[in-house]
Structure 1
Amino acid sequence: MNIVSNLERSVTFCPDKPAIIFEDTPITYKELHLKVCRLASRMRSLGVKKGDRIALFMANIPEFAIVYYAAMKLGAIAVSLNVMLVKNEVKYILGDCGAKIIFVGEDQACQVPTDDPDALEHIILVEGDENNEHHISRVYDTGVETFQALDMADTDPAVILYTSGTTGYPKGATLSHFNVVANVNSTNYHIRSTKEDVFHLFLPLFHCFGQNFIMNSCIKKGATLVMHKRFEPAPVIEAVKKHKVTMFFAVPTIYIYLLNMKDEEIDFSSIRYFFTAASVMPNDVANRWRAKYGIPINDGYGLTECSPFACYNHDFNYKPGAIGHPVINVQMKIVGEDGKAAAPGEWGEICIKGPNVMLGYWNKPTETEKTIIDGWLHTGDVGAQDEDGDFFIVDRVKDMIISAGNNIYPAEVENHIYAHPAVNEVAVLGIPNDVKGESVKAVIVLKPGEKVDPEEMIEFCKERMSRYKVPKYIDFVTELPKSATGKILKRILRDEAAD
């Protein structure tokens, strides 16, 4: 077993088909595989062997796929770094995983630490001046035509993906070849993809969503991947029409942005499948999208530690507001505070068991033991299961607000606020209260040209939810802080509220 077999299979069946289209330039499966083989050969000459860690610190460019699959050929472990990391954060991750080589993009090169001669053996550039002796392009003109991939065991590590975490240092979720292959097979089954599909990728490849759910699933099917460095509305929308994209993947904040664009600016007629994940999709947004395009935004649930997906809510069995049923060979349950299974409709922690669950956290056995208990991954997410077996997610346990002894889930409050016609985006959080423990605060971005005062918004909330859930504080802002994946960063809002 080896993840790179996904690519090798597609090379055999469709060598001349575009595997990746980047900036309107196609790379065929044959061309992609040739570069992978030549890089793998060069990496072996640099001393890379099975189990060595290879860091990828770059934006969405074809070289990400080339380095990734070359590492898989060698049985090395790919460690993808968030492109927004700064030097101290990069230094910690490289030290924690013990990376041997780092492949770095032009914009990220300045954040690679060079003050520790024992840390990295090689720094290889993937963008910029191709005359630089350390540029990746210098390996492509070697005579190697093929490279035999190592056969890996089910439990051999394939990738390390560092979770952002809210406290302390990030943890390296370690996924095996079996984890990734199982999740990719499940993904393609559930989204019913074919080799004729055109996948759209603008979500970051350093994230499990982009890397496994989109890139690996596309390559496994022999489909075409239209790749962008990042989400930029105009080029993304233009590419949908030009390349007849059929599979569209985005986080809720992007769907909200697209809903606010003029109809004449968008042609999504080629798309047969929309999907979202990474954060809770507001019901109002999902309903507006379906009313406008006639196709639901299929929803899913998962996390990096699950390779990433565990649950799907799809159009052939779509239930509004749900995250659906577990994927093939995966079990899910809701556990109450007493550690016992919760009854239907009762809230509790979502736990997951199956071939998608990670091996553990790299170099952190204690954290692993706390997270994976008797094979069950304890997610830290609050959810419930209804009588039909559908699962629902409310929020992260860490985001839950406790006010005067009442548990308040921000996503529930946000859903109600999204129903206000003037609201574009909202983030609800708890802020310290000396009497109640915490008070509810809503930070809101209004749609262009809209005006609402705080008192009006509070009255709107009172009509729709229990009094203890109604925000005490309302702030209107021009934008909300977001991560590279489009998630709203509530920790920054909490820090700002504490100042």
Structure 2
Amino acid sequence: MNIADTLDRNNIFFPEREAIVYGDRSWTYGQFWADANRLANALQALGVKQGDKVCLFLTNCPEFIIAYYACQKVGAVAVSISSMCKADEVEYMVNDSEGVVLITEEALMEHVPARDRIPNLRTVVSIDGDSGDRNWSGLLEAASPEFRTVYTDRHDGAAIIYTSGTTGKPKGVVLTHGNVVSNTNAAKYMCQMRPDDRAICFLPIYHSFAQNFIFNSVVQAGCTLVLHKKFDLDRVLESLQRDRITRWYAVPAIYIMVLNDPRSADALKTLRYCFSAASSMPGEVARQWKEKFGLVIHEGYGLTETTPFATYNHEFRHKEGSVGTAIMDVEVRIADGDGNEVPRGDLGEIWIKGPNVMKEYYRKPEETAETIVNGWLRSGDIGYMDDEGYVFIVDRLKDMINSAGLKIWPREVEEVIYTHPNVRECAVIGVPHEVFGETVKAVIALKEPGRTTAEEIIELVKKHLADYKAPRIVEFLDELPKNPTGKILKRELKEREKKLRGGA
């Protein structure tokens, strides 16, 4: 089993079908296959063997996807490094993964560490210049477009994706060929992907969601990927119409931006499918989206460690507020602290088991053993399951607020705050309190700054929830900090709070 078997199949059956669109450049499946073969030959000529690690330090670009499939063809492991990383971070990931080749671009070359700091690395390839040891175009021009994909076992490593690392150094999640093939097949089937679909991708493809749920699933379905370097509202709205986009993938923050833009009604006319992931979709936003565009926002749940697809809402019956039921061949249960399943409706940690669960954290056996227990992956997320098997996310275990012994789940409070018509986005965090230990703080970005007061927000929450869950502190910011996928970074808000309190 090899991820690249699907690309070989697509070249046989529909080589003229459009595979990748990137601005004014495009590749058919036949051209994509030939370029992946050329690079596979070039990698072998550089001494890359089955099991070697090839680091992809790139922004969103077709070369990333071609390099990823070239790695699979030779049986190498594609190591994704965030294009946001600086030299120290790149150094850590290259050394931790034992990378032998690094493929990057001129704009990122300043963040490639000095070679004496990455001694295992043999070759740096630049996709658009001559600053590396080798040049992309030169490698491809000298290589044959024919290559026989090597045999790999379903349990062999195919990719390493680094977690964001909320504590300590990032961990390299090893995903196997079996993980990715199983997960992309589930996405194709359950999300009803069709060969005539055209999927837009502006989320970073070094991240598991865009890499597996979007671009690898597009190849699995044999449809077309319209790739953008990043999210730019004007360009994306223009692309939706020009490129006849049928499948839309975004995170809640981007849904909110599009929902509030008057041009969106015309831009979204060709869409038939919408999906949200990376963070929980506020119920009010989902309701407004359906009312304005007539489209349900499908949701799923998962982690980098689950490739990422684990639950889906839903191919049969959508249930508002849920992340759905377990996907095909996957088990989900809600467990107590000892791993015992709790009764339906009770809160517990979400545990996941199936062919989507990662092989390991690379070279970290202790962390792997803590996370995977008897084949079950501990998510660190708190939720419950209803009588029909639908999973509802309550919050991250680490984000729970303990105020005078009372548990407060931030998402519950955020859902109420989002019902205020002037709230664009919000995050609820726990902050130190000298009597209660912790208290609730809401950090909010408004649609129209200055037109809503802290008192309004507090009273709104008190109207719907117990008084102790209402924020005692409300802060308004122009923008909330986010990672490249658009997920609000609560850890940065907590660090900011520490600084405001003088390190307390």
State the Cα distance separating 1:316 from its structure 2 match.
3.5
Distance 1:367 1:132 in 2: 35
Aligned residue number for residue 188 of structure 1 = 188
Where does 1:71-470 land on structure 2 (aligned, <5 Å)? 71-114=71-114, 115-116=116-117, 118-127=119-128, 129=129, 134-263=134-263, 266-314=266-314, 316-448=316-448, 451-470=451-470
Check the 8 A contact 2:301/2:310 in 1, yes or no.
yes
State the Cα distance separating 1:314 from its structure 2 match.
2.3
1:412-446 deviation digits (Å, cap 9, x = unpaired): 11001000111000011011122211111000000
Check the 8 A contact 1:10/1:221 in 2, yes or no.
no
Residue 64 (str. 1) matches residue 96 (str. 2): no
Aligned residue number for residue 13 of structure 2 = 13
Output the aligned Cα RMSD.
Answer: 1.3
The 3 A distance-change label for structure 1 pair 123 and 449 is same
Distance 2:383 2:247 in 1: 28
Which one is further off, 454-463 or 347-356?
Answer: 454-463
Q: Figure out how many residues of one structure are paired with residues of the other and give that number.
A: 498
- Structure 2 SS opposite 1:279: coil
Distance 2:23 2:148 in 1: 31
1:91-119 deviation digits (Å, cap 9, x = unpaired): 11111111001001232211111142623
Check the 8 A contact 2:123/2:133 in 1, yes or no.
no
State the Cα distance separating 1:33 from its structure 2 match.
1.1
The gaps in structure 1 that reach 5 residues or longer are: none
Aligned residue number for residue 30 of structure 1 = 30
Distance 2:233 2:138 in 1: 34
Aligned residue number for residue 502 of structure 2 = none
Distance 1:456 1:416 in 2: 12
4+ aligned runs moved over 3 Å, structure 1: 130-133, 263-266
The gaps in structure 2 that reach 5 residues or longer are: 500-504
Aligned residue number for residue 39 of structure 1 = 39
Whichever residue aligns with residue 116 of structure 1, its letter is R
Aligned residue number for residue 473 of structure 1 = 473
Distance 1:54 1:407 in 2: 45
Distance 1:56 1:74 in 2: 15
The 3 A distance-change label for structure 1 pair 344 and 132 is closer
- Structure 2 SS opposite 1:425: strand
Where does 1:478-489 land on structure 2 (aligned, <5 Å)? 478-489=478-489
Distance 2:196 2:209 in 1: 21
Check the 8 A contact 1:298/1:314 in 2, yes or no.
yes
Whichever residue aligns with residue 100 of structure 1, its letter is V
Distance 2:287 2:344 in 1: 25
The 3 A distance-change label for structure 1 pair 326 and 26 is same
- Structure 1 SS opposite 2:310: strand
Check the 8 A contact 2:401/2:438 in 1, yes or no.
yes
1:6-25 deviation digits (Å, cap 9, x = unpaired): 11111111111111000132
Check the 8 A contact 2:51/2:157 in 1, yes or no.
yes
TM-score (norm: length of structure 2)? 0.97
Distance 1:315 1:155 in 2: 29
Check the 8 A contact 1:6/1:216 in 2, yes or no.
no
Distance 2:143 2:414 in 1: 58
Check the 8 A contact 1:2/1:151 in 2, yes or no.
yes
The 3 A distance-change label for structure 1 pair 126 and 177 is same
TM-score (norm: length of structure 1)? 0.98
- Structure 2 SS opposite 1:80: strand
State the Cα distance separating 1:28 from its structure 2 match.
1.0
Which one is further off, 56-65 or 310-319?
Answer: 310-319
Check the 8 A contact 1:35/1:66 in 2, yes or no.
yes
Distance 2:374 2:407 in 1: 28
State the Cα distance separating 1:263 from its structure 2 match.
4.2
Whichever residue aligns with residue 371 of structure 2, its letter is T
Whichever residue aligns with residue 200 of structure 2, its letter is H
State the Cα distance separating 1:340 from its structure 2 match.
1.8
Distance 2:78 2:353 in 1: 24
Distance 2:333 2:264 in 1: 45
